[in-house]
Structure 1
Amino acid sequence: MENSAAPLLLVYKQSAGAAEENRKLNPSSLSSSLSIFASEVWTETKLIWYIAGPTILTTVLQFSLGFITQSLVGHLGTIELAAVGIQTNVIGGIGYGVMMGMGSALETLCGQAYGAGRLDMMGIYMQRSWLILMGTALVLTPVYVLAAPILKLLGQNTAVADLAGKFSLWMLPELYGYALNFPTQKFLQAQSKVMPMTWISLIAVVFHGVMSWVFIYKLGLGLVGAAIILNLSFWFIAVGQIVYVVYWCNDAWSGLSWLAFCDLGGFVVMSIASGVMICLEYWTYMLLIILAGLLKNAELQIDAATICMNLQACVFMIPLGFLAASSVRVSNELGAGHPRIAKFSVWVMVAISVIIQITCTVVLIIARNQFPVLFTDDKRVIAEVSRLIFFLSASVLLSSIQPILSGLAIGAGWQTMVAFINIGSYYLVGMTVGCVLGFKFNFGLEGLWGGVIIGIAVQTVILLVITLRTNWEKQAALAKERITNWGGSAEDPLLD
């Protein structure tokens, strides 16, 4: 299929060039400058939404798989909700965070290769990522198998840990689905081919909703039925995307190649750096769930924290779409040697995201007593979630900027630097403050979450300062160098 983003890109570059000429001809005309600026903002906004819109829909639909499962399981009982919640956020969170993080290396390399016109390397990059992530899934398998003792070692309730351990065993196939899904997603996103992913995910969600109800309630399979359908739905998405790549991406996919086994060194390094960066962000909330299990009334605290995390994840779908758009726009433009457009795109996205997240925050506060009912009938849990909504709102507001800056870091290839920033902000500052407030001063879950919010705020400020001080011309030069040094050769050694 033809990449319909290309005409938009051409129009953008033509309008940007015309704007530069107009500035030279009319340097003192304020109204002309404002008109040109508004035109550039509008053109960039259309291009951003072309990528972010379908990405948000896709992310919402794929997140809905777990959301539907937890909603249905939550009405079986509080212990079932706690077990699925802690498996999804802790054990599943380890697998999801590592695989998504390592797969995001493809956003840098594929995005910059696409911008530079090196489509011949994109399919090979994806195959290398498949190999690396499959190997990573093998390494992570014992975590799923030993989920129950791991959760007990972390101090979790025995009954919840045992049930979560059983559910984790059934969810093992999903881990290997991640190994195929994330590289394929990044490959398509780098080319702005996001609508096919949306349609595939929509079909999967319809199937998942109907069959989950049948397996959990009508057939009485409970958590086992939930796991079976969740795995099937996720694998449908992974396989569907690969089929699309094979049959409709002939410009960037030329079939399986032995080149996938070559030049893996730099690719592994960037994958690990990407994995560490993303995991340090993603695991902050996983650790929050674990620490909630150490508080008094652990089952109640885990249920409340799990529901809040699900609500935040729902709202986070929007900035997550902008994260993808930021990564794609920055990597494409740096690869193409257009640093000014990359910089401009980031600030347009920040402005759009801030407006949207403020709106979402207002909605959450107004409907704070209605949202928890989607997950549970327990009045104690509903009351606890309503009390935590203001902490949730603060997290939502911060997520209007932070994901875009993270997307910028991925697009520019700053993963290693940001990994160190995340260690300091999230863990040395955020978690330390959270534990002191939560346990030492007995603020409980509010104290723990307050520490997380402080950590996110510190990271956001640091990334803002770095972004403002960035030499974008130098980043464009580094992008071209990275395509050669980290991407490897396009020459097939077997043919040589």
Structure 2
Amino acid sequence: MGSALETLCGQAVGAGQYEMLGIYMQRSCIITIVTAFLLTPLYIFTSPILNLLRQNEKISDLAGKYALWVIPQLFAYALNFPVQKFLQAQSKIWVMTVISVVVLGFHVVLNWILVTKLGKGLAGAAIAENISWWLVVLAQIVYVVSGFFPESWTGFSSSAFKSLYSFVKLSLASALMLCLELWYYTVVILMVGWLKNPEIAVDAISICMNLELWTLMITLGFNAAISVRVSNELGANNPKAAKFSVVVSVVTSTLFGVVFTAAILATRDYFPRLFSDKQEVIKDIKIGLFLGSNHFPQQHSTRVAVGAGWQLSVALINVGCYYVFGLPFGALLGYKFDLGVKGIWLGMLAGCLLQTVILILYVLRANWSKEALHAEERLRCYATTPLPQNESTENGMIIDNKDKINERTANI
């Protein structure tokens, strides 16, 4: 729900409408906090839900306890994402980095005390996560309201409650796009839980998921950069610069994918031993090592879509690639052909690869001049005050200051 802000704030910055950023952030916070309240029952009833889905009883019970313990973290997320997108759109990355590094150091010490020294196990880990996430959120909020953003943060405003319906529609499209992708992995875990000997299978799938998160951390900075860059350029009516940014992103992500794949191939016999000494688990992990490389181009393409405001289109692509093709293919390999975890992973990989190819083609074939027009229409829709009228060029672009645009393009 918070990624709608990534589109709107980025395009507002490109258009020079800085006064809208604070209002957009407040609107998004209202929406995400309400969403967190609506999701809370899922946390409360995690154990019964997992048992209803015929998951292992012991795993369901432990997952249910952990879900209750991390409810405060859910509300930290609800505030973190809007504030984060507000800062990212204005390229205030170093402050966020410093806050994260400081809290990370505190988080490591807190985990060591609660989990290792005091032996609190998952409860200790949950407490450490809750405290650390709230420290990050509070530090970012203090930074925003302390006067460092005189143009984009002018205080709390009743305008945040206006145009909420339109804002919710874009937020829902954003949520649908991202949730369909995240739920894909959740369904994969459920499918693994239905295999024989689910403890070993869930061990392997969890390790693979963590490895995948490691690789996604590498792409996260690139993802944020390309999303902000595309939205900024579209908001500034610079379609050529937006398209050039996309090409650079695709080439860069492909190169990183090749490097990562080579590293995984070189360490395939040693890397799994960092996570487990069980031979059954190690055997099932190896197939997961190849998944991370696929996510470099895939994640970059997804963030381009967010920057351009294509959330609904990407959501439909995700439905086809993941749920119509990937999951049934994984179930066929895992259950019918008795490949177990490997079969389910291969089906998942096939769905991801199909989505990557379609997204890259979608991005490269886009008409960026039209996307610049759509960006201005979107800004007019959500603005609280009328935007200045711009004159159209022969190509249908909207330009209000040709000298400024030429100067920006030259700098790029």
Which TM-score applies when normalising by structure 1?
0.75
State which drifts further: 431-440 or 374-383.
374-383
Letter in 2 for 1:434: G
Give the match's secondary structure for 1:118. Answer: coil
Q: Distance in 2 between matches of 1:442 and 1:266?
A: 48
Match runs of 1:144-183 below 5 Å: 144-183=43-82
Match of 1:462 in 2: 358
Over the aligned positions, Cα root-mean-square deviation in angstroms equals 1.4
Q: Distance in 1 between matches of 2:155 and 2:191?
A: 47
Match runs of 1:262-341 below 5 Å: 262-341=162-241
| CA spacing shift, 1:300–1:243, aligned 2, 3 Å | same
Letter in 2 for 1:262: K
Match of 1:489 in 2: 384
Q: Distance in 2 between matches of 1:319 and 1:218?
A: 34
Report deviation, 1:190: 0.8
Give the match's secondary structure for 1:401. Answer: helix
State which drifts further: 133-142 or 195-204.
195-204
Letter in 1 for 2:369: E
Give the match's secondary structure for 1:103. Answer: coil
Q: Deviation per CA, 1:200-225, whole angstroms, max 9, x where unpaired?
A: 11111111111111111211222211
Q: Is the 8 A contact 1:430 1:456 kept in 2?
A: yes
Q: Distance in 2 between matches of 1:396 and 1:229?
A: 27
In structure 1, stretches of 5+ residues that fail to align are 1-101, 492-496
Q: Is the 8 A contact 2:107 2:129 kept in 1?
A: yes
Letter in 1 for 2:237: G
Q: Is the 8 A contact 1:120 1:490 kept in 2?
A: no
1:429 and 2:325 matched = yes
> 244, 262, 276: which is aligned to 1:376?
276
Match of 2:126 in 1: 227
Q: Is the 8 A contact 1:307 1:375 kept in 2?
A: yes
1:214 and 2:110 matched = no
1:192 and 2:91 matched = yes
Q: Is the 8 A contact 2:11 2:234 kept in 1?
A: yes
Aligned residues: 385
Match of 1:28 in 2: none
Q: Distance in 2 between matches of 1:235 and 1:303?
A: 29
| CA spacing shift, 1:374–1:210, aligned 2, 3 Å | farther
Match of 1:251 in 2: 151
Q: Is the 8 A contact 1:190 1:328 kept in 2?
A: yes
1:116 and 2:11 matched = no
Match runs of 1:342-361 below 5 Å: 342-361=242-261
1:362 and 2:262 matched = yes
Match of 2:315 in 1: 419
Match of 2:301 in 1: 405
Q: Deviation per CA, 1:90-136, whole angstroms, max 9, x where unpaired?
A: xxxxxxxxxxxx11100100000000000000000000000000000
1:441 and 2:337 matched = yes
Q: Distance in 2 between matches of 1:162 and 1:396?
A: 30
Q: Deviation per CA, 1:74-102, whole angstroms, max 9, x where unpaired?
A: xxxxxxxxxxxxxxxxxxxxxxxxxxxx1
Report deviation, 1:359: 1.2
Q: Deviation per CA, 1:180-211, whole angstroms, max 9, x where unpaired?
A: 00011111111111111111111111111111
Q: Distance in 2 between matches of 1:153 and 1:260?
A: 40
1:103 and 2:23 matched = no
Q: Deviation per CA, 1:383-426, whole angstroms, max 9, x where unpaired?
A: 3323x24xx31x22321211121111111111111111110111
Q: Distance in 2 between matches of 1:381 and 1:421?
A: 33
Report deviation, 1:372: 3.2
Q: Distance in 1 between matches of 2:344 and 2:284?
A: 15
Give the match's secondary structure for 2:268. Answer: coil
Report deviation, 1:490: 4.0
Report deviation, 1:369: 3.8
Q: Distance in 1 between matches of 2:279 and 2:332?
A: 29
Q: Is the 8 A contact 1:129 1:183 kept in 2?
A: yes
Letter in 2 for 1:489: T
Letter in 2 for 1:156: Q
Q: Distance in 2 between matches of 1:382 and 1:443?
A: 15
Letter in 2 for 1:488: A
Q: Distance in 1 between matches of 2:384 and 2:267?
A: 55
Match of 1:125 in 2: 24
Match of 1:476 in 2: 372
In structure 2, stretches of 5+ residues that fail to align are 387-412
Q: Distance in 1 between matches of 2:52 and 2:317?
A: 29
Q: Deviation per CA, 1:412-467, whole angstroms, max 9, x where unpaired?
A: 11111111111011110111111111111111111111111111122122222222
Q: Distance in 2 between matches of 1:377 and 1:466?
A: 43
Give the match's secondary structure for 1:276. Answer: helix
Letter in 2 for 1:277: M
Q: Is the 8 A contact 2:257 2:297 kept in 1?
A: no
Give the match's secondary structure for 1:211. Answer: helix
Which TM-score applies when normalising by structure 2?
0.90
Give the match's secondary structure for 1:296. Answer: coil
Letter in 2 for 1:253: W
Report deviation, 1:158: 0.5
Q: Distance in 2 between matches of 1:213 and 1:317?
A: 23
